[in-house]
Structure 1
Amino acid sequence: MTSSQSSTIARRPNYRRILLKLSGEALMGEQGYGVDVKVARSVAEEIKAVHDAGVEVAIVVGGGNIFRGVSASAQDMDRASADYIGMLATVMNAVVLQDALEKLGVYTRVMSAIDIPQVAEPFIRRRAIRHLEKGRVVIFAAGTGNPYFTTDSAAALRALEIKADVILKATKVEGIYSADPAKDETAELYDRISYQEVLEQQLKIMDASAISLCMDNNLPIIVFNMKTPGNIVRVIMGEPGVGTQVSAERATARTTIEPSIQHGA
C-alpha cells in the first residue's frame, strides 16, 4: 500500500457497504486471453485496501476474458447455452480472485447463482449479508443464474439484494464521457450524470436493464478507472475528481480531455 493510500484510509469512508463490478478483462492484463495471476494479485491488493478501511465489500466479476455468450467465439451456438458457458467462466474468475485475496489474508467467500457445491456456496441473500457483516469479502459468480442477463444486471440485482450503498463500476477509463475521447477531442468527462441521460444518450457503461434497475431503486453508480493505483480507495473516501457518479441528478461536465491525457499516453 502506498503512503497516499495509508493517509487516505485514515479518514472515514463515505460508504458502509459497496458492490464492486469487475469485468473479466480486469484480470487479463496484457494477455489476449485468460487470467494474469500478477494482475489478479494487484486487483486483490486494491480490494484489500478498501476492506482494511472498514468497508464491507461484495464483488460481481464478469467472464469476458474467457468466454462471452454474445462474442464471436460463441458463433452460431444457441444463446442460452453460450450464456451458461459464460456463467461458468465467471465462476473461474471468482475462484482466481478468491485465491488472490486469501493469499493477502482477506477472508473471502464465493457464492454462485448456479449450483456448484464443490467450488462455491449457493447464493442465499441472508447468508451473503451475514458474511459481509462478519468482515468477509463476498464474490458473486454465475451472474443471475439465467441466460440473456449480463453480469451488469447481476451487479445491480445483487447490490439491491444486499442493500449496498453504491455500485462501483471498474473500467479502464477515467469515467463517463460525452463521446468516445479517442475519436472526439472535444469529449467532456462528466463529474455526474443522471440515469435518464445515460439511457437517452445510449452511453455503454452498463446495459440498459441494469441502469433502469438502479434508477427505479435510486441506487447510485460510480464509474472509475481501476487501472490507476489507489483509485478505488479515493472513490470510497469521496475524493473529488475521481470517476463519474450516476444518480438522479443531471449531468455536470468536469472538463474537456484530450485523448492522449485520457488514456495516460
Structure 2
Amino acid sequence: MNQEKETSPVSGYIMLIIVALLFFSSLFILIATKNPFFILGILISIILCPGFFFVNPNSSRVLVLFGDYKGTVKKNGFFWVNPFFVKTNISLRARNFDSERVKVNDKVGNPILIGVILVWQVKNTFKAAFEVDNYEEFVRIQSDAAVRKLAGQYPYDNFEDNEAEITLRSGLDEVNHALEENLSQRLDIAGIKVIEARIGYLAYASEIASAMLRRQQATAIVAARHKIVEGAVSMVEMALDDLSKREVIDLDEERKAAMVSNLMVVLCADKDVTPVVNSGTLNH
C-alpha cells in the first residue's frame, strides 16, 4: 500500500449512544445486583471512548493500526473507530510560506538576496504522512533549494549578459513559472500540490548594492543622453531645412556649422544656457 485510501468510519453519535447505554446499564446492574461481572461492561465502555474523534472542514485524519495504514478520513463530522487506531491530523487547507531571504550568486556570479512566496496544500495524505519525516519542514528545505537553483539559472539583469533575454528582474512571469515547475517536482514526493510560487524579494547583496546602483544610474543617464542627442539632431536638421525652404537667410557652410554648434549646445546642455550677443561678424 503506497497510495491514499479514503475511508468512512462509523458515526460517532451512534457509538456514543451505545457506549453510554453500556456504561450506565452496567453501572446500574452492578449497584443493584452487586455482581462484579458487570465491571467488565464498565471497563469495555471506558476502553471504547478513545475511538471517538472529529474532523473539521478541510482537515483529515490518517488511521494506522499497529503500523498498518487503514485509510484516511476526509469527510468532516463526528466519528468512531477502533480505539487502538493512531489518528494523525493533517490539514488540507491552503497555506502560505514566505521564505527567508537567501544570499546566493546569480548566473554571472553576482551575490543577490532572494526570497520566495509559496502557496501550497496537501493533496495526498499517505505521502505526507509516510513518504517524508516532516512534510512542513520538507516544504521549507525544498523551497530553499529550489530558490538557490533558480538564482543560478538567470542573471539578475542583463548588464553583464547582453544575450540574456530572461532575467530575474525583468522576466518575472517566466522565472515564476520555472520556480513553480521546479517546486512541483520536488514536493510531489510528499503529496503536496503547489498552488502558486513567485519571487517575493529580490535585491543585490549589500556589498555590491551601492556599486550596482551607480551602474544603473549611469546606464540610465547614458540612455537619456542618447535620446536627447537624437532629438537635438532632428531639431537642428528641421531648423536648417525650414530656413532653407523659406529663404529666411542664406547660410554658407561656416555659418551653418556655427548655427549647428550653438543649437546643439542649447538643446543638449543640462543647465540653462546664457546667451551671448555678437554685434560683429562670425570672425570678430
TM-score, length-normalised on structure 1? 0.22
RCO greater where, 1 or 2, for CA within 8 Å and sep 6 or more? 1
> What is the TM-score normalised by the length of structure 2?
0.21
Instruction: Say which structure is richer in helix.
Output: 2
